[in-house]
Amino acid sequence: MPQPQKAISLFTSGGIGDLAIRRAGFDIVLSSELLEDRHSVFKANFPATRAVSGDIWETKSEILSSVRSQLNGSELDLLYATPPCQGMSKNGRGKLLSSIRAGLKPSKDLRNRLIIPTMEIASELRPRTILLENVPEMASTAIVDGSGREVSIIEHIAQTLGSEYVGRAEVVEFADYGVPQCRQRLITIFSRDDRMREWFRAFQTFLPSPTHCQYGRNGRKTWVTVREAIGSLPKLDAKNSQSAVSAIPFHRVPVLDEMKYWWVENTPTGRGAFDNQCCICGYSENPIHGARREVDGVNRASRSTPLHCEKCGSLLPRPSVEREGERVLMRGFTSAYKRMSYDKPSSALTRNLSYACSDNKLHPEQNRVLSLYEAFCLHTLDQYEYRWIRDDGKRVSDKTIREIIGESIPPAGLQKIVDHLAKIANDTANGFEQSGPLFADVKHTRSRVAQR
């Protein structure tokens, strides 16, 4: 019986993506993570994996020696890494730009340079395949490398690996792989495996063909919707502590205060509370909220959106705060206090998924935010065996759960990618001959590329 292939995981967090790596048949021999609250959850779910906690700049030597010891002369099959993206993510871009201008952050975020020790480890271990996951912004992010040169991250990866490896970085919409969540990530795959090199030479990609699309065309299924993922779960209501819980573990929501509940209950499906109309006189032509990107690059919400009905003068059920004795519109964008649509995938789940003010995180119809259990379903975590426990026996906080989900990749989507890589390496992927020449005729090859 063949031995399982060996993999390592860097910037592991709680190990959500690693569920797909493990199910694909890889033995994850080592994990590396800076934050112990995340790593402790990983260790409880992957007890056989050697876990190295701490700053990767400082633990690099320990990582290398431990992996070499466990490989005992054999090759590493897969290096899977998900470097932190806060320095690149568009979700935090406005705040980041403001901090740079105020002199609170350097213009070159040091977190982006974590690709350097990652690639140093890759250069030393020479894995057959390297799989990196990050935000799409990584493709256009520059770093200052060890030689003091400014270079794009993708160029740095290719230059470090050398001509032995082939590959590229591609933006993936995970809804296209059957995930009930619109989540775009940059998937970077390089390989030196002979079969993988031949495949890439033929198709110029390591990604499998999408299985889904928005409208279900060209033989693909339609995107999986929020309704399909969570529509049958017991109803919850954030009005009080009794209606906000259920018998299902983690299917519970925080209670909203009276004012926030008023905003939410008047928000239609697919709309945001900043656009709510008058619930007193019924006037529905009050101007709605908006935002624009200014010359400094920061996306700013409108400050002239009305808070009182233009017809009767009543307070509109729009997010507001008391300031110096006066009710004023709360600062926020059109996606804050906004309901999801039942008939589309959800928006990307973030670390703030349990907050009403987070982007598109209100339930499509019920007066509340998403429950953690619903987040598990939308993230496809419910399709895997995973426990929210720590290896030290301490309780896992809701905050840590949200952070692990917001920082991770939907495992079912990653599963399709990793399974496809395994099929290519094993010469069983569609388009390869089962025997004889490694890949099918050129006409068939070009046809498949053209369909992408």
In DSSP notation, 253-317 reads -PPPPHHHHHHHHTPPTT-BGGG---SSS----SPPP-EEE-TTS-EEE-S---SB-TTT-PBPS
Task: Say if residue 148's pLDDT is above 70.
Answer: yes
Cα four-point dihedral sign 432, 433, 434, 435: negative
CA distance 359 to 337: 7
Reported as type and span, the H/E element at residue 6 is strand 5-10
pLDDT band at 143 (very low <50, low <70, confident <90, very high): confident
Give the gyration radius of the chain's Cα atoms.
24
Domain of 53, in residue numbers: 5-222+409-450
Asked whether residue 277 is assigned to any structural domain, the reply reads no
Tell how many helices (H) and how many strands (E) occur in the chain. 13, 15
Per the model's pLDDT, the better-predicted residue between 393 and 434 turns out to be: 393
On whether the CB atoms of residues 78 and 129 are closer than 8 A, the answer is yes
Q: Which residues contact 291 (CB under 8 A, 6 or more apart)?
A: 299, 300, 301, 302, 333, 334
Considering the domain boundaries, does residue 155 fall inside one? Answer: yes
What is residue 230's three-state secondary structure?
helix
Query: What gap in Å lies between CA 154 and CA 152, rounded to an integer?
Result: 5
- Indicate the pLDDT class of residue 139, thresholds 50, 70 and 90: confident
Residue 231: how many CB atoms within 10 A of its CB?
A: 12
Tell me what pLDDT residue 332 has.
Answer: 74
Total of domains in the chain? 1
Residue 435 lies in a domain: yes
The residue among 101, 131, 37, 23 whose CA lies nearest residue 386 is: 23
Mean pLDDT value across residues 144-167: 91
Confidence of residue 290 (pLDDT cuts 50, 70, 90): confident
Task: Tell me the two tokens of residue 134.
Answer: 């990050």
Mean pLDDT value of segment 154-169 = 96
End-to-end CA distance of the chain: 37
280 assigned to some structural domain: no
The DSSP element (H or E) to which 320 belongs, if any, is: strand 320-323
Number of Cβ within a 10 Å radius of residue 58: 10
Is-contact 339 276, C-beta < 8 A? no
Q: What is the pLDDT of residue 411?
A: 98
Taking alpha carbons only, the member of 55, 46, 35 closest to residue 8 is 46
What confidence tier does 106 reach under pLDDT thresholds 50, 70, 90? very low
User: Percent of the chain beyond pLDDT 90?
Assistant: 76
* Residue 393 resides in a domain: no
Inside any domain, residue 394: no
| The predicted structure's pLDDT at residue 431 | 61
- Is 386 part of a structural domain of the chain? no
Give the other-Cβ count within 10 Å of 110's Cβ: 11
Beta strand 50-53 pairing with 142-144: unpaired
- Read off the amino acid at residue 3: Q
Outline where 104-216 has alpha helix (H). 115-125, 153-161, 194-203
Strands 184-191 and 129-134 turn out to be antiparallel
Task: Indicate if the pLDDT at residue 239 is higher than 80.
Answer: yes
CA distance 370 to 358: 11
Instruction: Note the pLDDT tens digit of each residue in 212-231.
Output: 999 999 999 999 999 999 99
pLDDT of residue 61: 98
Q: What CATH number is attached to the domain comprising 190?
A: 3.40.50.150
Residue 89, in any domain of the structure: yes
| C-alpha distances out from residue 366 to 241, 263, 371, 426, Å | 15, 13, 11, 48
Contacting residues for 425 by C-beta, under 8 A, at least 6 apart: 128, 129, 193, 195, 196
Section 100-127 average pLDDT: 76
In this prediction, residue 108 carries a pLDDT of: 54
Sign of CA dihedral 273, 136, 406, 251: positive
